[in-house]
Amino acid sequence: MKKCVFTMLLTLCLALTGCAARADDTPHRRTVFAMDTVMNLTAYGANGEAALSAAEQELYRLDALLARGIEGSAVYALNHGTATPDPELSALLDEAGKIANATGGAFDPYLGAVLDLWGFGSGAGENRVPTAAELSDAGPLLDLGGIAKGYAGQRVRAQLLENGVKSAVIDLGGDVALLGAKPNGAPWRIAIKDPADESAYLGILETAGDVYIATSGVYERYFEENGMRYHHIIDPATGYPADSGVVSATAICENGVWADALATACCVVGAEKALGLRESLAGTMDVELILVTADGRALYTYNGFTPGTSGVYNYSLVVDKGEQHG
Ligand code: AMP
Ligand code: MG
């Protein structure tokens, strides 16, 4: 009898180990075009396919909610004074207000009219350099281009989790939201774009997961006039494209909206203030930064970042003031 129980237990153990080995880690993939962006979603596991279908619908819904140029979107309605604010949009605006405060106004969700003048708006006219008078006359118009993707990444990540997905990569055209750990237990490895060369990498970032990685760069959208280059990240203090010395900023943090906004804001404030901003947020929010400057420096606060080997940049790890010795 004892032997029989032992054999049964052994069989049960083997069956369980067998099940574990066969855990379904199959990647399911979906490409979605929303927010003017090709997005690549990968969800691992048995629930992947159905969860991706829901995620796709959610991305279309958010596009229709947040696009300033889509007649009928909540942002459009707000800008045209035709509706009481949507509750979801109101909550997002509260968050945007907090970020505007934290960044001393460098992140400004009301730059719509200024962006339109430069031709970087939604229903955008042609790219041109506006006059100083036009810029100072431009009133506040809501534009969530600086956080829409971060919010979408965050929403989709939460929704995939609700739909039984434990592990996913949500690539929103370069910005990446990671859900959970990689199924094989290894760290996620994410390549960070080289701002000067689209085919090269600045370096590789390793993370355990559940973070949002946002990169903003002055090279993403621009035009040239009379030999000058004008890009789409505006310094709200001047109405002109930011000229802070930071040409690319990557922000890594759990909160997608903050990561997205901070990457944009870092390009506005410059390296020194960006690092100060990160420190001022410590305690409230862990943020890691990778900043590339026009003079070829790459400053990073994150140990999990491995610099590329192209030799183009002068890399340095910025150590927290609290951790400095001597
Ligand atoms: P990102 O690609 O995340 O850096 O966002 C850039 C987009 O954010 C632009 O295309 C504008 O729609 C908007 N934007 C530009 N400058 C700012 C700023 N200073 N604060 C907030 N949004 C901005
Ligand atoms: Mg952004």
Band of pLDDT at residue 320, cut at 50, 70 and 90: confident
Burial category of 321 from C-beta neighbours within 10 Å (exposed 0-12, middle 13-18, buried 19 and up): exposed
How high is the pLDDT of residue 2? 47
Q: Are strands 212-217 and 246-253 parallel, antiparallel or unpaired?
A: antiparallel
Band of pLDDT at residue 13, cut at 50, 70 and 90: very low
Burial category of 309 from C-beta neighbours within 10 Å (exposed 0-12, middle 13-18, buried 19 and up): exposed
User: Is the confidence at residue 258, as pLDDT, over 80?
Assistant: yes
The two structure tokens encoding residue 254: 């759990």
- Of 17-26, 84-93, 149-158, the least confident: 17-26
Contact 270 CB / ligand 1 (< 6 Å): no
Distance between start and end Cα atoms, the chain = 70
Contact 107 CB / ligand 1 (< 6 Å): yes
Burial category of 108 from C-beta neighbours within 10 Å (exposed 0-12, middle 13-18, buried 19 and up): buried
Atom of ligand 1 nearest to the CA of 175: 3
Positive or negative, the Cα torsion across 313, 246, 101, 155? negative
Q: Put residue 32 in one of left, alpha, beta given phi > 0 → left and psi -120 to 50 → alpha.
A: beta
Give mean pLDDT, residues 132-151.
96
Band of pLDDT at residue 319, cut at 50, 70 and 90: confident
Atom of ligand 1 nearest to the CA of 221: 10
Q: Contact at 8 Å (CB) between 191 and 204?
A: yes
Cα-Cα-Cα-Cα dihedral of 150, 154, 159, 162, to 10°? 170
Band of pLDDT at residue 123, cut at 50, 70 and 90: low
- For a mutational test of ligand 1's pocket, the pick from 234, 240, 257, 269, i.e. the residue with the most ligand atoms closer than 8 A to its C-beta, is 234
How high is the pLDDT of residue 323? 63
Alpha-carbon span 290 to 292, nearest angstrom: 7
Contact 234 CB / ligand 1 (< 6 Å): yes
Which 8-state DSSP code applies to residue 186?
A: P
Q: Residue ranges of the alpha helices (H) in 202-270?
A: 256-269
pLDDT digits (tens, 9 = 90+) for 29-74: 999 999 999 999 999 999 999 999 999 999 999 999 999 988 889 9
CA-proximal residue: ligand 1, atom 5 (nearest): 146
Give mean pLDDT, residues 183-200.
92
Average pLDDT of every residue of the chain: 91
Ligand 2: centre distance to CA 149 (Å): 8
Q: Where do we find the tokens 């008078």? A: 133
How high is the pLDDT of residue 124? 61
- For a mutational test of ligand 1's pocket, the pick from 36, 95, 233, 266, i.e. the residue with the most ligand atoms closer than 8 A to its C-beta, is 233
Distance of CA 207 to CAs 164, 253, 261, Å? 22, 11, 20
pTM (2 d.p.) = 0.91
Contact 111 CB / ligand 1 (< 6 Å): yes
Contact 216 CB / ligand 1 (< 6 Å): yes
Amino acid at 266: C
Give mean pLDDT, residues 258-271.
98
Alpha-carbon span 35 to 61, nearest angstrom: 10
Phi, psi angles (nearest 5°) of residue 162:
-60, -30
Contact 232 CB / ligand 1 (< 6 Å): yes
The two structure tokens encoding residue 132: 């100083």
Ligand in nearest proximity to the CA of 247: 1
Q: Contact at 8 Å (CB) between 156 and 58?
A: yes
CA-proximal residue: ligand 1, atom 1 (nearest): 146
The two structure tokens encoding residue 322: 């609290």
More confident residue, 72 or 127: 127
Which 8-state DSSP code applies to residue 103?
A: T
Ligand 1: centre distance to CA 12 (Å): 57
